Structure 1
Amino acid sequence: MSDEELQTIWRQSIDHYGKQLQSIVCMEECAELIQAIIKKLRKDTSSNDVLSEEMADVIVCLHQLKMMYGITDKAISDWVEAKTLRLAKRMEEES
C-alpha cells in the first residue's frame, strides 16, 4: 500500500469517527503498547508479534495525531533531534 493510500485511509477514519474519538483510541493504543512492553520484560516467552502489532498501532496513531492537530514532520524531526542530543549529553555526563 502506498503512503498516499495509507494517508487517505487515516484521514477517512478521522472524518468518520471524529477527532475526539480517534484521540481516545490513540491513548488506548499507547496503553496497549505499554502493557506489551511490560509483558515482554516480565516473561520473554512470546514472539515479538504482539509487541510489533502494538508498535504498528501506535505508529498509525502518531500519523493520525499529526493530521488531527496539524503537527508537521519538521516539528517532529526538530524535537527528535533535540531529545536525542539531550540523551547524548546525559550519557556523556554520566561517563
Structure 2
Amino acid sequence: MQKEKFISGMNGHIVLSPMERERIIQRSVEREHWKTKSTICMEEMAELQQQISKQIRGYDDRYGLLEEMADVYISLKLLESIFNVTPEEMQKAIDVKLARERSNQ
C-alpha cells in the first residue's frame, strides 16, 4: 500500500465489522493457491522485521511500523484459514506460550 493512502486511512473513519474482515480474508484465500498465499505471508513477516530494525536504528516511522504489523496480523489470519486452525486452538496455543513466559519471569 502506498504510505500516503495508509496514513489517510489511519486518519479516516474506516471501520470493518468482524464478519466483513472474515469475509475479506476468506475471499483472499480463495483467490490464490495456498502455497502462493503462504509465501506472501512469509514475505510480510520479513518486511516487519525490516521495519523493526529501522525503529531500533532510530527511524521514527510509527505509521510504517503499524502498516507492517497490520500486514503480519492479516497474514496470521490468512494462515489460520489456510491451515484450518480454529480460534480456540490459536487461543490455547497463545495461553500455553504466555504461561511458559510467566513461569520464566
TM superposition score normalised by structure 2 = 0.81
Quick one: which of 69, 81, 88 aligns to 2:95? 81
Query: Which of 26, 33, 36 is equivalent to 2:41?
Result: 26
Q: Within 2, Cα distance between the matches of 1:42 and 1:51?
A: 13
Q: Which has the higher helix share?
A: 1
Q: State how many pairs are aligned.
A: 90
Distance (Å, rounded) in 2 between the aligned partners of 1:86 and 1:5: 34
> Aligned-pair distance for 1:47?
3.0
- In structure 1, runs of 5+ residues without a counterpart are none
Output the CA distance in 2 between the equivalents of 1:37 and 1:18. 29
Match of 2:52 among 22, 37, 52: 37
Q: Deviations over 1:48-69 (max 9, x none)?
A: 1111000000111111111110
Q: Which of residues 23, 27, 32 in structure 2 aligns to 1:12? A: 27
Alignment-mate amino acid for residue 85 of structure 2: I
Calculate the aligned-residue CA RMSD, in Å.
1.0
Residue type of the alignment partner of 2:70:
A
**Over 2 Å off, 4+ runs:** none
The answer as to 2:51 corresponding to 1:48 is no
Report Cα offsets for 1:60-92 as digits up to 9, x if no partner. 11111111100011111111111111111111x
